[in-house]
């Protein structure tokens, strides 16, 4: 037989001021995350332009190799950044959603693997409703 009453929860309920503070922290986290996604979108634009103009062709085998050297990314991660940057050129709705902070880089990265042309499945709208793992 249990020593704890079954009709009472074992967790403490936050007080209203604590709830308000947690909501404020959550809002700040979401806002900062949107800013990071917008910065990532700009970074991808720059990577795409640098790649297209051959800026890496100064002794490096690829834009990803240069990016890995220049900013310290793992080579696999650098390849993915270049791949996503190139893909977004043909997927303007996804590029805009990332730039506005509406979609995360993780979601956009996954979507660039399946959304091969603009408007083909309206993936950007579907992605707003789903978690990354559900995509």
> What is the 3-state secondary structure of 49-88?
HHHHCCCCCCCCCCHHHHHHHHHCCCHHHHHHHHHHHHHH
> What pLDDT shows up at residue 95?
94
Q: Which of the residue ranges 7-11, 37-41, 91-95 would you say has the lowest mean pLDDT? A: 7-11
**Predicted model pTM:** 0.76
pLDDT for position 10: 63
Q: What is the mean pLDDT of residues 59-81?
A: 98
The overall average pLDDT reported for the chain is 86
Higher pLDDT, 47 or 135: 47
Confidence at 100, pLDDT banded by 50, 70, 90:
very high
């Amino acid at each position: 037989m249990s020593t704890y009453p079954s009709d009472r929860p074992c967790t403490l309920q936050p007080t209203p001021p604590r709830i308000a503070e947690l909501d404020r922290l959550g809002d700040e986290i979401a806002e900062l995350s949107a800013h990071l996604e917008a910065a990532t979108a700009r970074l991808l634009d720059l990577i795409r332009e640098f790649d297209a103009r051959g800026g890496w062709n100064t002794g490096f085998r690829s834009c990803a190799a240069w990016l890995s050297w220049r900013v310290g990314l793992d080579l696999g991660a650098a390849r993915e950044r270049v791949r996503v940057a190139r893909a977004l050129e043909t997927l303007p709705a996804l590029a805009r959603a990332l730039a506005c902070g509406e979609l995360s880089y993780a979601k956009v990265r996954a979507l660039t693997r399946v959304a091969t042309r603009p408007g083909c499945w309206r993936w950007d709208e579907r992605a707003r409703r789903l978690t990354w793992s559900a995509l």
